Amino acid sequence: MIDRSPFLRRGLLPVGNLMSALPIIGVAPIMVMWFGFDWQSKAAVVVVMTFFPMLVNTLAGLSAASHIQLDLMKTYGASYRQTLFKLRLPEAMPFIFNALKINSTLALIGAIVAEFFGTPIVGMGFRISTEVGRMNVDMVWAEIAVAAVAGSAFYGVIALIERKLTFWHPSMRA
């Protein structure tokens, strides 16, 4: 809908930019107060962190098709839906996958920060905060290493999926 409506684009992009500029260390406790200690607060923090990069990259990708390509689709009498699925979405796939790769690590960071503030007994964020209080630096570094490996694995899986789905794109020919 945002792609089709210039009004929504002009209205939601500044709001999304504002949301992405909020310090997550301040937003996470508020989300925990609003949504409680269960998974909903963690999901809210992850959504706040990942929505704007996904929105911006998707909109940039959807507008990546050249005017010549769009004019050709119009010449063929293609509807908006046909143009979207046959031209604009394929052109947007590299942008969407870039956003997914960025968001795979951002979501992990957001979930850990949310657990740091909002999980009384479980999770990596809880474990980090507990072990810092005990001055157990080895365990803190171990948690950080596990998070780094998990984030790298998520990134790698998305990169492999991207390679399989966008093999035709010039950026994949290396």
pLDDT band at residue 168 under the 50/70/90 scheme: confident
Which tokens belong to 68?
């010549």
Contact yes or no for 113/125 (Cβ under 8 A): yes
**Percent residues over pLDDT 90 in the chain:** 37
Return the amino acid letter for 153: A
Q: What is the mean pLDDT of residues 96-109?
A: 93
Q: To which residue do tokens 């962190």 refer?
A: 49
- Please list, in sequence order, all residues whose beta carbon lies within 8 angstroms of the beta carbon of residue 13, skipping any fewer than 6 positions away: 55, 56, 59
The answer, yes or no, to whether residue 158 has pLDDT greater than 90, is: yes
pTM of the entire predicted model: 0.81
Mean pLDDT, the chain, integer: 87
* pLDDT bracket for residue 126 (50, 70, 90): confident
Q: Give the domains, in start order, of the chain with CATH numbers.
A: 6-172 (1.10.3720.10)
**What share of the chain in percent tops pLDDT 70?**
97
pLDDT value of residue 71: 93
Torsion angle of C-alpha atoms 143, 145, 150, 156, degrees rounded to 10: 170
Q: What angle do CA 109, 115, 118 make, to 5 degrees?
A: 140
Give the per-residue pLDDT at 174. 62
Measured CA to CA, the distance from residue 119 to residue 88 in angstroms comes to 42
